[in-house]
Amino acid sequence: MTTILKTAAFAVAVLATGAAAVTALNRDIPDFAVPAGPWQAGSDLDGRAFHVTGTVLETGAAMPETVLSFVDGQFQSSRCQVACEFGWHEYQTFTEGERIHFTATTRCPEAPFTVVWYGTVVGDEAQIAGTWTVRRWYWTHQATITAAEGSPVEIGAALSDG
């Protein structure tokens, strides 16, 4: 009987500390904080696409190249499409002088991936930032896109490459 009680006490202790460890491991990380602004449904960038390169803040590595496309109020990243068939998502914009601000939040339908994009476009130059976040019940991982720049590409070519 003593062995049974010791085993039961050990099982309770393991389960109790295991639950605490899982809680500690599941610290959430907030998505990219898009600046406040008079956001409205996007159309200002419709018909445009940008080839984007940049850096992942946490590692200093080059981010995977992507083409960001804007069509009929919808946004798509070619890299996100290849990675998880994110599809098209609505985007929002506002304008300050010649600078067009845009944002889009995209989610993978098959996995717990969320990408928040924020950028500005002046003429043919785009500056991009954002986060790629993976949320699982036991951990959250995030890659921050920084120092990303975009150059214009043909919208038809961008769509066929994605």
How far apart CA 104 and CA 80 sit, in angstroms, is 13
The answer to whether residue 21 is domain-embedded is: no
Q: pTM here?
A: 0.78
Domain assignment present for residue 66? The answer is yes
pLDDT for res 22 = 36
Give me the number of domains the chain comprises.
Answer: 1
Where b means 16+ CB within 10 Å and e means fewer, 72-105 reads ebbbbbbbbbebbebebbebbbbeeeeebbbbbb
Per the domain annotation, does 15 fall within a domain?
A: no
pLDDT confidence of residue 158:
53
Q: List the domain range (segments joined by +) for residue 40.
A: 29-161
Asked if the structure places residue 4 within a domain, the reply is: no
Q: Is 16 domain-assigned?
A: no
Q: In what order do the strands lie in the sheet with 66-71?
A: 40-41, 92-96, 99-107, 113-122, 125-135, 140-153, 48-56, 66-71, 74-77, 89-90
The arithmetic mean of pLDDT across residues 74-85, rounded, is: 90
Q: Confirm whether 100 is domain-assigned.
A: yes
Domain CATH code at residue 109 = 2.40.160
Higher pLDDT, 146 or 46: 46
The amino acid that residue 28 corresponds to is: D
**Residues 52 and 67 sit within 8 Å (Cβ to Cβ):** yes
